[in-house]
Chain A
Amino acid sequence: MSDSSPRRALLRAEAVTVRRGAREVVHGANLDLHAGEIVALLGPNGAGKSTLLDAVCGVLRPVSGTIERHGRVAIALQAADLARRSAVANITTALGWWGVPRAQRADRALRALEAMGVAHLAQRQTTTLSGGERRRVHLARVLAVEPDILLLDEPFAGLDAEVRANLLQDTLSALRSDTRATLVVVHDRAEAWALADRLLILIDGRLVAGGPPREVLEHPPTLAVARFLGYDGALREGDETVLTRPANVMLDPDGPLRARVTRAVPMEDGARIELTFDQGRVYAVAPLPAPRVGDEVRVRIDRGARFPSA
């Protein structure tokens, strides 16, 4: 999937196929990254996201296809492994590897730590940092080198919800740059919506959808993409199947459809309910007081994704 953005392309991958050992993991991927944009690469476990990232940064060589890079690439691996030194020493050392003159290292390191909201931890030994703090220092290290193309491999993996939400917020502002292209692999759709200007969906090693997040979400090109994006309900309408997400299904006393509640799972502010129709089954989130199993309700379907019935 590529788009026709007028901004300068910093990376162009064409028909890239990548193997890990004997197994072909990424098949014929086309990918452009432009200056100033943040692209999220989303896909289920084992789809080949990290393999594609490794190929983009040059760790893995594609077996076919070409990758053109205009500028230097830096990657932040998923594991936030830091040396047992101070936070700032980790970054100045990385700046040394990157070739930054010694005189500039301390300032750049502190700026990066500040951008990630951890300047106050600069002199702390990394062994004393929490998981979230380590992740911030890890991201600050890769931001400090100021690459033209920045790759992040699941930067929020393994953090609890609150830490992740805070980190996501700070990372978003730190990642914004007019000159840098950023490709971030995420596992969670919410992270992709929060971060990305553009979304790429990788399923079974193939880039199967791409575009602005809202557009991809509302118009998934295939059933597989729709299922991956959370379309868990299905209704037959003539020779079409309408796939729905809970957000598409409204309980409405004036709604045109009648359904029976067949399951209900209590949630904090309501319930996630399963609604069964003659034509299929959908899921909705009902506010309190939520209907109970066996109740009949009127339903309205807003939008949904339509596909020809098999």
Chain B
Amino acid sequence: MHLFWEELRAAVPLIFHGNPQLMNIIWFTLQVAAVATAAATVIGVPVGLAIGLGQFRGRRAMQFAANASLGVPPVLVGALLFVLLAGHAPLASLQLLGTRRVVFIAQTILALPYTVALTAAAVQALPPGLLTQARALGAGRWQVWVLAVREARIGMVAAVIAALGSSLSEVAAIAILGGNIYGYNQTLASATLFEVSGGHYADALAIAIVLIALIFLLMCTLGALQQQGNGIRLRFRPAT
């Protein structure tokens, strides 16, 4: 306990003195979280909608895969991607290992199952009569999708929150793929690991405090948006 207070006392000034190294890590973390969450949303939401609303061969298999991949350990994903990208592997020519780009890619891949599986679940949880009635009144495919998005918005925001959480806190895959290179491609989570491994507990604690504060701030903001009235007021057309 004594050690903890000692390290905490040393960590607080690191946070408030605007350590440039820490600022770089925060900035890179925010970039990774934003890009990975946005990419996972742009790719995952339409796929989740297709799984939730579509009637095509392989739909159940896709949903099973999305649900199952929620439980796959990130370290396994990192290891698999490493095997594909290293040495003489099929994707080695891309020369992604140890780069910043691979961190973005890995976090996007890890965030994707959240947006796919939770979006599919959100639209599947809608009252079945709602969409059938819309079709019966002449709604086309896109109109049904718009209705589904509007009605499932709370669940879909939850999907984005989960993806963001994954992007902020995941460490194993990016450490394997990016190499956790000091001052280059570290996120707050991987930097915490790096500092702990090096025995720099005060630095690790400072980074961890910033990470927790960031997660808390972003999650509260999205949570407030989710709870606002009946959820976020998405307007696809002017109110009539």
A77 pairs with B240, CB closer than 8 A: no
Knowing A81-B129, A83-B151, A105-B240 touch, does A74 contact B137 (C-beta < 8 A)? yes
Contact mask for chain B residues 201-240; partner A; CB cutoff 8 A; 1 contact, 0 none: 0000000000000000000000000000011000001011
B230 lies within 8 A of A125 (CB): yes
B21 within 8 A of A: no
Interface range for B:
20 to 34
Which stretch of A90-98, A261-269, A299-307 is in the interface?
A90-98
B95 at the interface (CB under 8 A from A): no
CB contact between A59 and one of B134, B136, B147 (< 8 Å): that residue: B136
| A115 at the binding interface (Cβ < 8 Å) | no
In this complex, the member of A74, A97, A141, A145 whose beta carbon has the largest number of chain B beta carbons within 10 angstroms is A97
Q: Which of B136, B143, B237 contacts A77 (CB 8 A)?
A: B136
| Residues from chain A with Cβ under 8 Å of B240 in the complex | 88-89, 92, 102, 105-106
Contact B137 A127 (CB under 8 A): no
Q: A79-B127, A83-B150, A83-B151 are in contact. Are A141 and B137 (CB under 8 A)?
A: yes
The residue that A75 contacts in the complex, of B128, B136, B147, B239, with Cβ under 8 A, is: B136
If the complex has contacts A83-B150, A83-B151, A89-B240, are A142 and B137 also in contact, measured as CB distance less than 8 A?
yes
Interface bracket on A: 20 to 34
Q: Are B147 and A74 touching (Cβ within 8 A)?
A: no
Which residue of the partner chain B has the closest CB to A59?
B136
Q: Is the CB of A77 within 8 A of B132?
A: yes
A84: chain B residues at CB < 8 Å are 150-151, 230-231
Partner of A83, one of B130, B140, B231: B130
Chain A residues with CB below 8 A from B147, complex form: 83, 93
User: Chain B residues near A79 (CB, 8 Å)?
Assistant: 127-129, 133
B151 in contact with A94 (CB, 8 Å):
no
The residues in A between 184 and 239 inclusive whose CB is less than 8 angstroms from any CB of B are none
**Using Cβ atoms and an 8 Å threshold, which residues of chain A touch B231?**
84
Check A97–B134 contact: CB distance below 8 A.
yes
Decide yes or no: A99 and B128 within 8 Å by CB, A92-B240, A106-B240 being known contacts: no
18 extra A-B contacts, CB within 8 A, seeds A59-B136, A89-B240, A106-B240: A74-B137, A75-B136, A77-B136, A78-B129, A79-B127, A81-B127, A81-B129, A81-B133, A83-B151, A84-B150, A88-B240, A89-B239, A92-B240, A96-B143, A97-B134, A97-B137, A97-B143, A141-B137
Question: Chain B: residues with CB nearer than 8 A to chain A?
Answer: 127-130, 132-134, 136-140, 143, 147, 150-151, 230-231, 237, 239-240
**Complex A-B, nearest 3 residue pairs according to Cβ-Cβ distance, in ascending order:** A79-B129, A81-B129, A81-B127
